[in-house]
């Protein structure tokens, strides 16, 4: 029970992933935390998140949150600011670094801002542990498939974040740094599903960049499962990659449109966008092992990785180009997620 009696800091805790991580931790499925601190710079999101949990004393999504007022804390701060990071990490046992600039076009237009959040922010976490918070046991860095063979600023900065955390295992003797890397989270803020849903509700058209484009798809809960698996099973410098399904974006649009007479329009590829995403590259394949529902990439640094297998568990790079979902499969995958969102809108 890795969270039992622990103080967990979630940077970027008001984002889609951060909120889901916090909700799952509060269920006590991996032990009852002593405290959970949500660290972010958006006071409005913190205010609304606090209000949501103040009214969560009843059963919500099949969960009753116990002692939420005593457990859940909110702290305004910026991952870019070392002093605020260092203060937030006092007495913390586990850090989940979900703070990020993650919109691909935004990072392309404002690359230095992505550097400040995704790279300098990660280094601030390492520095704070090294200088003021050596009691931290585990840090989980949230990465992305775009960090694999990166062609855009978002992926480049996340790839460097991975390397910063891997190398940190050599600086901070008492702390284990582990990564997770995954693709598009269905229905998270900024994902394509809410965009398609809005376009469909307005009568279309549904806009897709290229007909050939594919993406990995996973739910928020599956993303959190990956974080929890890395916390429990990960070793220093490893990167956990979930085994997930991949789909054509045009099939995703058709699955959401259904029988409605709504056109699909192709708009052309955006700055920094890939046609297919890769989660394990050809170069990483030799360092990849299989661990249950996950591929685990061992660190490149010689003094961190264990004895590697003679044969990789992958025959090729792990790419969304290998489509696994039909239109019917996508509809089944989306149905519980869209139903849940509709129920939330109705209750509101």
For 43, the enclosing helix (H) or strand (E) is: helix 43-54
Mean pLDDT computed over 150-170: 96
**pLDDT tens per residue, range 261-316:** 999 999 998 877 889 999 999 999 988 999 999 999 999 887 887 667 667 788 89
**pLDDT tens per residue, range 42-80:** 999 999 998 888 776 444 444 445 566 778 999 999 999
**Would you say the pTM of this structure is higher than 0.85?**
yes
**Rounded to an integer, what distance in angstroms lies between the CA atom of residue 176 and that of residue 180?**
13
Across all residues in the chain, what is the average pLDDT?
Answer: 89
Active site annotation includes 254: no
Domains in the chain, please, with CATH?
Answer: 7-347 (3.40.50.720)
Q: How many helices (H) and strands (E) does the chain have?
A: 12, 16
User: Do you find a cis peptide bond into 205, omega within 30 degrees of 0?
Assistant: yes
Q: How many other CB atoms are found less than 10 A from the CB of residue 219?
A: 18
Q: Choosing from 6, 102, 146, 158, which is the catalytic residue? A: 146
List the structure tokens of 240.
Answer: 């956990």
pLDDT surpassing 90 at residue 159: yes
| Total number of residues shown for the chain | 348
pLDDT surpassing 70 at residue 346: no
CA 140 to chain CA centroid, nearest Å: 10
């Amino acid at each position: 029970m890795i969270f039992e009696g622990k103080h967990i800091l979630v940077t970027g805790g008001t984002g889609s992933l951060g909120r889901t991580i916090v909700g799952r931790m509060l269920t006590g499925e991996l032990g009852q935390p002593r405290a959970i601190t949500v660290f972010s710079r958006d006071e409005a999101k913190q205010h609304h998140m606090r209000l949501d949990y103040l009214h969560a004393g009843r059963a919500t999504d099949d969960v009753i949150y116990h002692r939420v007022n005593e457990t859940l804390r909110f702290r305004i701060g910026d991952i870019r600011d070392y002093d605020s990071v260092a203060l937030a990490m006092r007495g913390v046992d586990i850090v989940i670094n979900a703070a990020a600039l993650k919109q691909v076009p935004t990072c392309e237009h404002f690359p230095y801002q992505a550097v400040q959040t995704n790279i300098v922010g990660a280094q601030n976490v390492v520095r704070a542990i090294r200088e003021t918070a050596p009691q931290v046991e585990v840090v989980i860095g949230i990465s992305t498939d775009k960090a694999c063979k990166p062609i855009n600023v978002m992926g480049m900065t996340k790839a460097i974040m991975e390397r910063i955390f891997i190398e940190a295992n050599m600086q901070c003797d008492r702390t284990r740094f582990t990564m997770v890397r995954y693709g598009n989270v269905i229905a998270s803020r900024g994902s394509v599903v809410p965009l398609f849903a809005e376009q469909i509700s307005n009568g279309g058209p549904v806009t897709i960049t290229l007909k050939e484009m594919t993406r990995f798809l996973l739910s928020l809960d599956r993303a959190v499962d990956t974080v929890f698996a890395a916390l429990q099973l990960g070793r220093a410098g490893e990167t956990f990659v979930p085994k997930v399904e991949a789909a054509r974006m045009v099939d995703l649009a058709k699955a959401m449109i259904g029988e409605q007479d709504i056109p699909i329009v192709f708009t052309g590829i955006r700055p920094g966008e890939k046609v297919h995403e890769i989660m394990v590259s050809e170069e990483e394949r030799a360092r990849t092992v299989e661990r249950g529902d996950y591929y685990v990439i061992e660190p490149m640094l010689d003094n961190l990785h264990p004895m590697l297998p003679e044969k990789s568990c992958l025959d090729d790079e792990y790419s969304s180009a290998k489509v696994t979902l039909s239109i019917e499969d996508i509809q089944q995958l989306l149905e519980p997620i869209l139903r849940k969102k509709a129920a939330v809108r109705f209750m509101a």
